[in-house]
Chain A
């Protein structure tokens, strides 16, 4: 009983209700409310290219290294496909 009373007191104090396993709802993590809006613009598409297993790099149909055919900074950042840097 004492434990239940203590839990009820905590519930009142913190403003959440119970535990997910009990079928009740906890508030979402505060930090998830800080997610940035999903950007609408991503990196531009790469020109035609393929991976050359002998050279160990990507090349264009003309044989040029892909990183010399584009601004590699645009494609080597920490951006996810949607444009934000995440995996830094």
Chain B
């Protein structure tokens, strides 16, 4: 076991190769590294938190590393096993108990940085919150409607000259639902009883853009498809991904937006037209491994650096397509 001045705790499933990408940058470095999945906690690492003298003292130990939760400790909370993903009731309870306890302990301590506290993520992932924040941050945001009223939907589509889309807010209890066009000629009766998320179509797109923000850095990529409305529905090998430098004001607004939501990390989606960049949404725990692999953008390295060195809150915003790391 080695004494370290700084430590990083990664909360992720053991199968999470995106967490591996970040951990790989920390291996052999100056920080103690410890990884655990509270949804499938093993006998090690050991977790012990004690409240005494009016304060918490929590230590996590594994074979190699001992981590004390304090201002020298950074936390990367990825996607641990969800308790409801487990088959047996007792396992679901244990996963829930462990996740709740770990989350509570982490929240009770001052940390160097937390990417990101899932309770903050939970508050930030709502689209109405995001769209309002995006408008505050200076982005162009499409006209949007949430409604369970077929008449309101029809009026919205008509107001946008039959150029509107319908999007799913969640995907957990269904197979994939891409963003699709919605027309006045569609049977809209199925809107009754379910709040539907409609948006004005952003016309004449040149390309889509995914901007991944890590603290004060932005990693932007252009995504070009054969005219697809939703690049997620396109097989990865048929789309073209290229690192780009976004306009400075967009980069600055992306960083402000992520901070505004209380986050350190997020992946933002835009449509780019000749008129400029239009904001679509913020993925608070958005994946990045695929776009790093496709473009070479050093997102995992930046995450590792922020975890080991802490955030650089006051530095100038840097776009990383040309200036690596």
B188–A36 touching, CB < 8 Å: no
Give CA–CA (A88, B207) in the complex, Å. Answer: 18
B293–A72 touching, CB < 8 Å: yes
Give CA–CA (A72, B292) in the complex, Å. Answer: 9
B192–A72 touching, CB < 8 Å: no
Give CA–CA (A28, B194) in the complex, Å. Answer: 9
Among B62, B175, B191, B288, residue most surrounded by chain A Cβ atoms (within 10 Å):
B175
Give CA–CA (A30, B178) in the complex, Å. Answer: 13
Residues of A within 8 A of B235 (CB): 39, 83
* Size bin of chain B's contact surface: 35 or more
Query: Is A77 part of the contact surface with B, judged by Cβ < 8 Å?
Result: yes
* Size bin of chain A's contact surface: 35 or more
Interface residues of B in 116-144 (CB under 8 A from A): none
A56–B10 touching, CB < 8 Å: yes
Interface residues of B in 277-315 (CB under 8 A from A): 283, 286-290, 292-294
Residues of B within 8 A of A71 (CB): 293
CB nearest to A65 among chain B residues: B24
A30–B196 touching, CB < 8 Å: yes
What's the count of A-B pairs with C-beta under 8 Å? 150
Residues of B within 8 A of A79 (CB): 236
Tell me if B's interface is mostly helix, strand, loop or mixed.
Answer: mixed
Residues of B within 8 A of A3 (CB): none
Query: Is B166 part of the contact surface with A, judged by Cβ < 8 Å?
Result: yes
Give CA–CA (A65, B27) in the complex, Å. Answer: 11
B192–A35 touching, CB < 8 Å: no
Give CA–CA (A46, B283) in the complex, Å. Answer: 27
A16–B168 touching, CB < 8 Å: no
CB within 8 Å for A56 and B190 given contacts A35-B174, A73-B294: no
CB within 8 Å for A31 and B196 given contacts A15-B189, A53-B63: yes
CB within 8 Å for A14 and B192 given contacts A35-B174, A84-B232: yes
Query: Is B64 part of the contact surface with A, judged by Cβ < 8 Å?
Result: yes
Residues of A within 8 A of B167 (CB): 31
Query: Is A7 part of the contact surface with B, judged by Cβ < 8 Å?
Result: no
CB within 8 Å for A77 and B289 given contacts A15-B189, A58-B14, A86-B176: yes
Give CA–CA (A74, B17) in the complex, Å. Answer: 10
The minimal Cβ–Cβ distance linking A67 to chain B, given in whole angstroms, is 5
13 A-B contacts (beta carbon < 8 Å): A30-B190, A31-B168, A35-B176, A36-B178, A54-B63, A57-B23, A58-B20, A66-B20, A72-B20, A72-B289, A76-B287, A79-B236, A84-B233
